[in-house]
Amino acid sequence: MSRVTFNNQNSPFFQSIKRKVEEYFKEKNLKTTGNFKLYLKTIILVPLAITMYALLLFLSLPAFISIVLCALLGFTMASIGFNVMHDANHGSYSTKKWINNLMGLSANCMGINAFIWKQKHNIIHHTYTNVDGIDDDIAKMPLLRQCPSQKYLKMHRYQHIYCVPLYGLTSILWTFLTDFIKYFSRKIHTTPIRKMELKEHMIFWLSKVLYIFFYIALPIKILGFAPFIIGFLILHLALGLTLAMVFQLAHVVEDTHFVNANENAMKIEDEWAIFQIQTTANFATKNKIISWFVGGLNFQVEHHLFPKISHVHYPVISQIVEETCEKFGLRYINYPTMSKALGSHFRFMKQLGAQ
């Protein structure tokens, strides 16, 4: 792993913004964790996913209805990931650690190991955002070029077109390939994984076996192989595409900054919080429907600055963050609509493919 450090000696920007955010919670007498808005989402989304799963498995439905339900189930699972799993694994779902740990296991229900995800996301991605050579979310892969420092291949000329079906493979590759690569190599890209306790090894294997039983063996037994494989692929395409696009719009767009740490140790002259502002973008923050389904991750700037604060508080915090950015002369990247963010992402992918 390349050594990357930040100039955090004084951190005037983050100290200023942190003080204002802490004052807000103190004045309003609020906890930084989730509230009834988050718990209501859980009550809606989790039973909805279970109901759709049961309908697909135990009712004889017309093919078109089954296809639509599979896609909706994939989308709903992604929304559970954004809202429930994400907050829980950041420790911001509840003030009680055991509740966070329990709700965080919803990642395993989606096929993704929570222990590995927390290190990949909470530690590596949140510290070294858009640092090529460390951030696993933009890890080198032959088919996609996601930042200027990555090697250019002729096939990248068309990546802005073929990236969409590749994004759809995100969750199925995560479940059956990348989790195992990280588990056996004991590395996340270039960063060693901290030692897993026996409990974590047991959870890893048990959850993978249960996933195979509930999402593969049981559907094949009840429905037959052909209906299973069609539904399974549709579910994962919807799940994977939804997960991937939310990340891409938050980091891989025209206005975000990238750093190359593949060759030498480096010191980033800005403080860590300023680096987060430079490498992260918001989108569609005024759209309450999008905000509801993506668990406030369209407020990605606020999430990166305050990952232990539940997303239900981000709309208010965003005002504080934007005002402080203006005071310090920092650009607060915010695409007003999802369509503008999508346009920026695909233009950027096309630019990277044209070099």
Mean pLDDT (the chain, rounded): 95
For 264, residues 6+ apart whose C-beta sits below 8 A from its C-beta are 2
Beta bridge partners of 266: 4
Angular region, 329: left φ>0, alpha ψ -120 to 50, beta rest: left
Q: What is the pLDDT of residues 198-245, one digit of tens each?
A: 999 999 999 999 999 999 999 999 999 999 999 999 999 999 999 999
pLDDT in the model for residue 63:
95
State how far the Cα of 225 lies from the Cα of 353, in Å rounded to an integer: 39
Per DSSP, the three-state class of 225 is: helix
140 pLDDT tier (thresholds 50, 70, 90): low
In this prediction, residues 287-291 reach a mean pLDDT of 97
Strands (E) located in 140-288:
187-188, 191-192, 259-260, 266-268, 282-283
State how far the Cα of 169 lies from the Cα of 317, in Å rounded to an integer: 34
Q: Is the pLDDT of residue 1 over 70?
A: no
State how far the Cα of 239 lies from the Cα of 234, in Å rounded to an integer: 9
For 175, residues 6+ apart whose C-beta sits below 8 A from its C-beta are 110, 111, 112, 211
Sign of CA dihedral 211, 115, 294, 344: negative
State how far the Cα of 236 lies from the Cα of 313, in Å rounded to an integer: 30
Give the chain's length. Answer: 355
Structure tokens at 268: 């980033």
**Identity (one letter) of the amino acid at 231?**
G
In this prediction, residues 52-75 reach a mean pLDDT of 96
pLDDT in the model for residue 10:
82
Percent of the chain with pLDDT over 90: 91
In this prediction, residues 121-142 reach a mean pLDDT of 90
Q: Is the pLDDT of residue 3 over 80?
A: no
Beta bridge partners of 132: 260
pTM of the model: 0.94
